[in-house]
């Protein structure tokens, strides 16, 4: 990642830009489709592309009366099962009906003839989108409120019985970590450019040391600060509201500990590698420790705290390395959706070495 992206992710990834020529939309065809499929839609339409995100190109659609967001599958050759925007639409539709904080979904288009790839349209939720985990410029109590809101929102997601909200077939029950290790190994192999020894060792270690299966819940798959839209300020009681959880591409049914431990890897990643908290003075910042995050999640979810965080960190860093390797593959193939993708792809060796460090702590 570039120095700017590392040191100032808020400026690097926030806001919109002119649409990248590689992901240009036929705005006339889109206007016709929106007129036919969105009640109350009326142009003229202005389209811009969001800077953040590495996977599915995401656009801001502005009309005189309303603002929408469009997420589409990128064009070109793609990895199997990746970029499933139809699955995103399915899960946010179910969760919106339960008043869980997601953007209101409007319509899904599966006809590639309209824009060249599948897409869906949802409401644009206004609020703060924060990227830097250290939350510069804030007071300690503000930071603490934001971190508490993250944990509480994730616990609320994991409280849903998938079958009770129409998502019983959203993923396969059981053997979650086994299936995920297998999936990300395949994704890594499909994008492999040169051998990375730590990844080879992890591909051998992780399937041989799988943890016991936990309860089957909806897992977001990429639950982190920059995938949350927050209210502009704390409410009078000192609480911040999560208005929407974004980017459901990796969501499925699985073990909630995968989601929770993924949130926690920010505490073990140094900022010199990726946006992280390792080495920061958490007490002075007002940011909870890993132990405090674990305690709050267990209290809010009524569940038990994870006892195998080293293995879970190894798994999540391996998974993140595989995701970044997929980005490297898209850079190679010319289908990467972000101008910062090349920097993300360069993180694979460091992430895999970090994963192997935790694997060794877990007994490798």
Q: CA-CA distance, 212 to 305, in Å (whole number)? A: 14
- Please report which residue ranges of 120-231 form alpha helices under DSSP H: 140-158, 176-191, 197-208
10-residue stretch averages of pLDDT, the chain, 364 residues long:
47 71 91 96 93 76 96 69 81 98 97 93 95 93 97 96 96 90 92 89 97 93 94 91 94 94 92 76 96 95 86 95 84 61 74 95 94
* Structure confidence at residue 4 (pLDDT): 45
Please provide the size of the chain in residues.
364
Domain 140-361 has CATH 3.90.1200.10: yes
DSSP one-letter code for 5: H
The residue extents of the domains of the chain are 14-123, 140-361
CB atoms within 10 A of CB 137: 8
Q: What sign results for the dihedral spanned by CA atoms 328, 51, 81, 348?
A: positive
Written as six digits, the tokens of 179 are 């299936």
Residues 334, 319, 314, 230, Cα dihedral to 10°: 100
8 A C-beta contact, residue 343 and residue 328: no
User: DSSP states of 91-138 as a string?
Assistant: HHHHHHTTT-S-PPEEEEE--HHHHSS-EEEEEPPPSB----TT-TT-
Tell me: the pLDDT tens digits for 207-262? 999 999 889 999 999 999 999 999 999 988 889 999 999 999 889 999 999 999 99
8 A C-beta contact, residue 103 and residue 246: yes
pTM: 0.87
* Structure confidence at residue 6 (pLDDT): 47
* Structure confidence at residue 344 (pLDDT): 67
* Structure confidence at residue 324 (pLDDT): 87
Q: Which fold has domain 14-123?
A: Phosphorylase Kinase; domain 1 (3.30.200)
For tokens 């502009």, the residue is 232
Written as six digits, the tokens of 126 are 């206004």
* Structure confidence at residue 1 (pLDDT): 42
Q: Exposure of 134 by Cβ count < 10 A (0-12 exposed, 13-18 middle, 19+ buried)?
A: middle
Q: Mapping DSSP to helix (H, G, I), strand (E, B) and coil, where does residue 268 land? A: coil
């Amino acid at each position: 990642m570039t120095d700017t992206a590392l040191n100032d992710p808020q400026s690097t990834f926030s806001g919109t830009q002119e649409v990248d020529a590689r992901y240009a939309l036929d705005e006339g065809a889109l206007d016709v489709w929106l007129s036919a499929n969105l009640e109350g839609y009326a142009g003229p339409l202005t389209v811009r592309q969001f800077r953040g995100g590495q996977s599915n190109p995401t656009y801001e659609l502005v009309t005189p009366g309303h603002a929408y967001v469009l997420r589409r599958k990128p064009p070109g050759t793609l990895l199997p099962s990746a970029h499933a925007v139809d699955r995103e639409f399915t899960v946010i539709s179910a969760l919106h009906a339960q008043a869980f904080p997601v953007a209101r979904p409007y319509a899904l288009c599966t006809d590639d003839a309209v824009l060249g790839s599948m897409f869906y349209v949802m409401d644009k939720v206004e609020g703060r989108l924060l990227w830097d985990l250290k939350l510069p410029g804030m007071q300690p109590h503000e930071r603490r409120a934001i971190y508490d809101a993250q944990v509480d929102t994730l616990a609320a997601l994991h409280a849903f019985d998938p079958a009770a909200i129409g998502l019983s077939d959203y993923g396969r029950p059981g053997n979650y970590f086994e299936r995920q290790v297998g999936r990300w190994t395949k994704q890594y192999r499909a994008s492999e450019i040169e051998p990375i020894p730590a990844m080879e060792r992890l591909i051998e270690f992780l399937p041989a040391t799988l943890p016991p299966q936990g309860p089957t819940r909806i897992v977001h798959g990429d639950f982190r600060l920059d995938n949350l839209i927050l209210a502009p300020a704390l409410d009078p009681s000192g609480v911040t509201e999560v208005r929407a959880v974004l980017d459901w591409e990796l969501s499925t049914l699985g073990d909630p500990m995968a989601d929770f431990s993924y949130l926690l890897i920010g505490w073990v990643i140094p900022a010199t590698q990726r946006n992280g908290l390792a080495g920061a003075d958490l007490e002075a910042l007002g940011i909870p420790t890993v132990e405090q995050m674990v305690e709050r999640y267990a209290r809010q979810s009524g569940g038990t705290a994870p006892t195998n965080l080293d293995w879970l960190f190894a798994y999540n860093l391996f998974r993140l390395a595989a995701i970044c390797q997929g980005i490297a593959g898209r850079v190679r193939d010319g289908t990467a959706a972000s101008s910062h993708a090349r920097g993300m792809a360069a993180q694979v060796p460091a992430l895999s070495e970090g994963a192997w460090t935790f694997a060794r702590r877990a007994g490798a």
